[in-house]
Structure 1
């Protein structure tokens, strides 16, 4: 039994077939088929039923796939740990950030990281809702900056620190027919109106609605930039992170809905890492910079409020 055979097995399951698995692993379809056949012969167990159009797992196969995932995960942990010991300073830092974060705050920390560790490569993903935590769970990132903490109880071995919440502000376009009385609009006034909503497509979907009106007509998009542009064009209303719309609020291109029926929605935010993943000096430095900058920002907000 080899890790390559286990990777082929898991890939066939995850991608729904031998051809798709071969494309994902950049191997020929025959190589994938041979790997699975050899694995079945070595284990003396039929893993797939091949009667239908798509290969289906046998009952034994379902159990073996779960075990294969565990073995592959442990192999990645071992490889990461060995690389960590061999290199000292990480060759690459992988960060995934929820779209609700102010990316400029992240870039300020990364500027310091680049100056201190110029040879370390960076991979930066921007995702929505619970997707960053899934990417962290799959060991495709070293650090995740996550919006909403309800998913932490579904993922084991996770360490996290709470950061400042992000405010989602309900707004309508300044060119909208409704903008004149935006400060007085109620939920009843927006009955049947278009509400632009960012949808969560991650597998551990966060089902919270973040202020979606039951009487609205939802238009669903997959990112806040598209949502902002739709609202700016006067096609609907919705909640957008405050840091994304400061200029538009100042210019009047966007108008906040400020009646007692509306108000900002506060989303909890966190920085997170898995406890069984080795943390090198570059990741540690980024982690501490984000926490320190967030602490300084919190103090500024507190002083301002006082």
Structure 2
């Protein structure tokens, strides 16, 4: 059973921070006698002296210095706990889970998350990266509050955000890179790197899958790395390959047709009435940024 209270430790910290009982009283808007009583009572309960007088100054003892370092953390955690409780009282979610298709531009997502975190710093944010149907599957299962997905839902709550441009790319030293005109026959005879749908219940294929050789991977970053190593070609989101093209490790294919394609991204959520303040904040920022 704790002998001291958080309020006593707050008074102790105020005296330590402001250099005396009178100064602490002015800062925390309590009487000097009440602060004296709180600190003295705590010293009696703990059996240690926390302060000593040095001339006209009130300074920490060695024990006081050691305890101050620990109490700063304790008071900070107590404040977090109280803020979380206040958020729950006001209906603010403690966690926001977002399922995001890997094709969605990362910089847009990061900026939206930063703004949400500034507004709700104590909320835990979980980002689940998915491919194709995976985002909406997590939404249906209640494992995500919001999804950014290539597909519309049937609940009329899907909102078109933007179109993602995909470009056909290969490594700089790949055989397709030197061709002035790439045909579909050339693609059929080359290895294609394909992203696997992360959905389990209902998988989907999008785009051209005509190559006789295919490697299927689960993450966009793996696809990019394989192509940079000249191990295949793929259509990948322009935002994911732009920097690599500019640095020269990837090149766009000189296809006769179909060198680029686009895919829509939808903002999806299941129940507008159950969306909390944090999710609404994220939705608002994503709408504005796209």
Counterpart in the other structure of 1:193: 190
Q: For residue 114 of structure 1, give the secondary structure of its aligned residue in structure 2.
A: helix
| Separation in 2, partners of 1:254, 1:267 | 21
Tell me how far 1:201 sits from its aligned partner: 4.0
| Separation in 2, partners of 1:274, 1:126 | 19
1:225 aligns with 2:225: no
Tell me how far 1:266 sits from its aligned partner: 0.8
Counterpart in the other structure of 1:168: 166
CA pair 191-85 structure 1, distance change in 2 beyond 3 A: closer
Tell me how far 1:86 sits from its aligned partner: 4.0
RMSD: 2.0
Counterpart in the other structure of 1:13: none
| Separation in 2, partners of 1:140, 1:268 | 23
When structure 1 is superposed on structure 2, of 248-257 and 235-244 the one drifting more is: 248-257
Counterpart in the other structure of 2:207: 210
Whether the aligned pair in 1 keeps the contact of 2:88 and 2:94 (CA below 8 Å) is no
Tell me how far 1:125 sits from its aligned partner: 0.9
Tell me how far 1:158 sits from its aligned partner: 5.7
Whether the aligned pair in 2 keeps the contact of 1:95 and 1:144 (CA below 8 Å) is yes
Tell me how far 1:252 sits from its aligned partner: 2.3
Whether the aligned pair in 2 keeps the contact of 1:158 and 1:275 (CA below 8 Å) is no
Whether the aligned pair in 2 keeps the contact of 1:175 and 1:234 (CA below 8 Å) is yes
State TM-score, norm by structure 2: 0.66
Whether the aligned pair in 2 keeps the contact of 1:163 and 1:268 (CA below 8 Å) is yes
Point out where structure 1 has 5 or more consecutive residues left out of the alignment.
1-83, 295-306
| Separation in 1, partners of 2:101, 2:188 | 30
CA pair 164-113 structure 1, distance change in 2 beyond 3 A: same
Per-residue CA distance 1:92-127 (angstroms, 9 max, x = gap): 111111111112211101111111111211111111
1:108 aligns with 2:108: no
Larger Rg: 2
Q: For residue 171 of structure 1, give the secondary structure of its aligned residue in structure 2.
A: strand
1:293 aligns with 2:289: yes
Counterpart in the other structure of 1:121: 124
| Separation in 2, partners of 1:98, 1:209 | 13
Which one of 213, 230, 237 corresponds to residue 234 of structure 1? 230
How many residues are paired up? 205
State TM-score, norm by structure 1: 0.63
Which one of 147, 150, 153 corresponds to residue 147 of structure 1? 150
CA pair 148-256 structure 1, distance change in 2 beyond 3 A: farther
Counterpart in the other structure of 1:133: 136
| Separation in 2, partners of 1:236, 1:259 | 15
| Separation in 1, partners of 2:283, 2:158 | 10
| Separation in 2, partners of 1:135, 1:284 | 19
Whether the aligned pair in 2 keeps the contact of 1:211 and 1:265 (CA below 8 Å) is no
Point out where structure 2 has 5 or more consecutive residues left out of the alignment.
1-86
Whether the aligned pair in 2 keeps the contact of 1:158 and 1:272 (CA below 8 Å) is no
